[in-house]
Amino acid sequence: MVEIKNLTKYYGSHPAVQDISFTVGDHEVLGFLGPNGAGKSTTMNMITGCLPSTAGTVLVDGYDIAKDPLEVKRRIGYLPELPPVYTDMRVRDYLMFAAGLKGVPRDKRAKQVEDAMERLHITDVQKRIIGNLSKGYRQRVGFAQALLGSPKFLILDEPTVGLDPKQVMEVRRLIKDLAKDHTIIFSTHILAEVTAVCERVVIISQGRIRAVDTIENLENSVSSERKLCLKVEGEITKVTDIINSVEGVSSIDEIEFESDGVSSYTVTASSDTVRKPLMEALLAKDCMVLEITAIHANLEDVFVRLTAPTKEESFEELGRQLDAAREAEEAAKQSDKAESSGEEDAE
Amino acid sequence: MFSLYKKEVQSYFCSPFAYIVSALFLLVFSMSFIQGISNMDSSVFKFSFSNIFYNNFFYFIFMIPLLTMRTFAEERKSHTETLWLSAPITIPQVVLAKFFAVATVFLVMMLLSLFFPLVAAVKGSVIVSSLFCGYLGFFLWGMVCIAVGMMMSALTDNPIIAAVLGETAMIFLIFIDNFAATDLVTSLPFLQKVLRWFSTEIRFNTFSQGLFTLSDLVFFITITAVVLIWTIIIIEKRRWSRG
């Protein structure tokens, strides 16, 4: 179990991380989510003992990182944002060295290195010099390094950055696979990734925790209101009147012209139960309902909402953060696109 | 710790690095050797290896930083230090492993230079005790330089700057005698005494005369240890402020 208690880090007078607390249970996959510059890497560096904290502690299996750093480090495999690989070494030599550094007994090193290379599919490049490998391969070599010494906890800082869509899929599959016998904390600013692999999410922004919960709960927490999308054939004025007249409909947010006489309406309703009366009312007035779908609030909404600035934060920060959130959204969209194309490839 | 030592030694010898620096060292050493022979007094036919060593001190200023400049600066630059920062190994162990690795390279360089006394022994006679003490002094002075070079490498993330800083610090160490002899310092006897105590030249001279005194040995080892401890403190300090 990893317990993080009131972790705080100041760089000079600038607070990078403030008062972060959460726990990670055994065999759990925890997503660490936040816009760029939110303090994700700083927190991870503190958990792994690379960076001492200004205040607060990290307990790994009951060992304090400040008091028993070696015991903690023995239990943790860390893949930093930039894989810590020596570019002038060969893959296999590097992994053997890393295994030695992590205190793996001499007779077990070769076996562990083989296993790690197998898992990351880098066995065929083991004789090559790391500097000549592509970013994706280097990332995987770094990942293999984190697995050495069979640590109980894996801390992965943006493990899929720089990988092609197919490799991203592979890494996600690997994380799921590793979750069987490891506890994993991994950070990302790509939302699709979190939904794909994590059970629980910690959202941080501006160095503060905004939420710690399961994805489901977070999605539900955004609002109790339901959004419906209707495609109806009929005159727009007539249809809007009918929709507005139904009890439970709070507003029509958007009307979009689709094709001859068909328009789509985005409706906010107080609950799901409004669907039936809505359909009945429309059909009674001879308006054909071609499609009705419930729009779920997704993690992106949660993310944008939670990472939005609070009142006491200055306007400057506000602008910066919105930019970051927008970027993150964009990245998520792109990765979604990339992922779907990757899936096609895989098929 | 041994893994790190092994990897460091390999990184010197599995690249052209150690060979090129050794070659440069031997070139400089051989030139001093030839100079020693050509300047021999024709009446006694004697020359001193200690003088060659002493000449080499100055070349050291430029050679040792070449070996040490990468130790920490490059790791910081290429973000590989997270590997040993997150591994179950302490920073003193890291510093020692790296120090011994550079010391090993230096030892190899010194062994190669044994070629010259051997050549001299074939055609003449060599005073072994003087030669041994000369080598010992040379080695101890080398250890001090390596420690200083490593400390400078820990201060920056640019190997070139590390090399220049190391050279500056070593120049200061070498010329501390000359500084102690200036009018300004001689007018302050106490300061002169302190500075002369730190003088490596005086201590090396006793070695070069074939004399081995415990105080000199302690002096070199202490300086090396103190500088290494500073290196550890610098790395710990930088660990607190890294991003």
Residue A52 contacts B, CB cutoff 8 Å: yes
Average pLDDT over residues A57-69: 89
- Note the Cα B118 to chain centre separation in Å: 23
Contact A11 B89 (CB under 8 A): no
Q: Is B237 a residue whose pLDDT tops 80? A: yes
Whether the pTM exceeds 0.90: the reply is no
At A276 the pLDDT is 84
Q: Containing H/E element for A267?
A: strand A262-269
Domain of residue B21: give its range.
Answer: 2-241
Sorted by where each begins, the domain ranges of chain A are 2-220, 224-295
Residue A78 contacts B, CB cutoff 8 Å: yes
Contact A45 B90 (CB under 8 A): no
Residues of B with CB under 8 A from a CB of A: 2-4, 6-7, 10-11, 14-15, 78-90, 239-243
* Structural domains of chain B, count: 1
Lowest mean pLDDT among A261-265, B158-162, B234-238: A261-265
Tell me how far CA of residue A122 lies from CA of A100, A128, A130, A144, A184, in angstroms.
Answer: 19, 10, 11, 9, 22
B120-140: pLDDT as tens digits: 888 777 778 778 888 888 888
Q: Residue A340 — very low, low, confident or very high, per pLDDT cuts 50/70/90?
A: low
Rounded to whole angstroms, how far apart are CA atoms B137 and B208? Answer: 7
In sequence order, which ranges of chain A are alpha helices (DSSP H)? Answer: 40-47, 69-75, 91-101, 106-120, 135-147, 165-178, 191-197, 215-221, 236-245, 275-284, 299-307, 315-346
Which of B82, B86, B93 to mutate: most A Cβ within 10 Å? B86
Contact A85 B80 (CB under 8 A): yes
Average pLDDT over residues A90-111: 91
A224-295 CATH, one of 3.30.70.3190, 3.90.1710.10, 3.40.50.300, 3.40.50.2300: 3.30.70.3190
Rounded to whole angstroms, how far apart are CA atoms A229 and A236? Answer: 15
A6-28: pLDDT as tens digits: 889 888 888 888 888 988 888 88
Q: Is A4 a residue whose pLDDT tops 80? A: yes
At B204 the pLDDT is 73
Which of B6, B15, B86 is closest, CB to CB, to A73?
A: B86
Q: Is A326 a residue whose pLDDT tops 50? A: yes
B11-56: pLDDT as tens digits: 888 888 889 989 988 888 888 888 877 877 666 666 667 777 777 7
Q: What percent of chain A has pLDDT over 90?
A: 16
Q: Which residues contact A238 (CB under 8 A, 6 or more apart)?
A: A285, A287
At A311 the pLDDT is 54
β-bridge partners, A249: A269
Range with the largest mean pLDDT of A158-162, A241-245, B139-143, B222-226: B222-226
Average pLDDT over residues A100-112: 91
Q: Residue A347 — very low, low, confident or very high, per pLDDT cuts 50/70/90?
A: very low
Backbone angles phi, psi at A76, to 5 degrees: -120, 135
> A2-220: CATH homologous superfamily?
P-loop containing nucleotide triphosphate hydrolases (3.40.50.300)
The yes/no answer to whether this complex scores an ipTM above 0.95 is: no
At A298 the pLDDT is 66
Q: Containing H/E element for A2?
A: strand A2-11
Q: Residue A317 — very low, low, confident or very high, per pLDDT cuts 50/70/90?
A: low
Average pLDDT over residues A171-187: 88
At A81 the pLDDT is 87
Q: Is A299 a residue whose pLDDT tops 50? A: yes
Q: Is B200 a residue whose pLDDT tops 80? A: no
B142-187: pLDDT as tens digits: 899 999 999 999 998 888 999 999 999 888 888 887 777 777 777 8
Rounded to whole angstroms, how far apart are CA atoms A285 and A243? Answer: 11
A114-139: pLDDT as tens digits: 999 998 888 999 899 999 998 888 88
Number of neighbours of residue A52 by Cβ within 10 angstroms: 15
Which of A14, A54, A72, A101 to mutate: most B Cβ within 10 Å? A101
Tokens standing for residue B133: 């003490």
B98-123: pLDDT as tens digits: 999 999 999 998 899 888 888 888 87
Name the average pLDDT for chain A. Answer: 83
The residue with greater pLDDT, A67 or B50, is: A67
**Which residue, A111, A127, A131, is CA-closest to A119?**
A111
Instruction: Using the structure block, give the residue that is written with the tokens 């726990």.
Output: A23
Q: Is A111 a residue whose pLDDT tops 90? A: yes
Average pLDDT over residues A172-192: 85
At A240 the pLDDT is 85
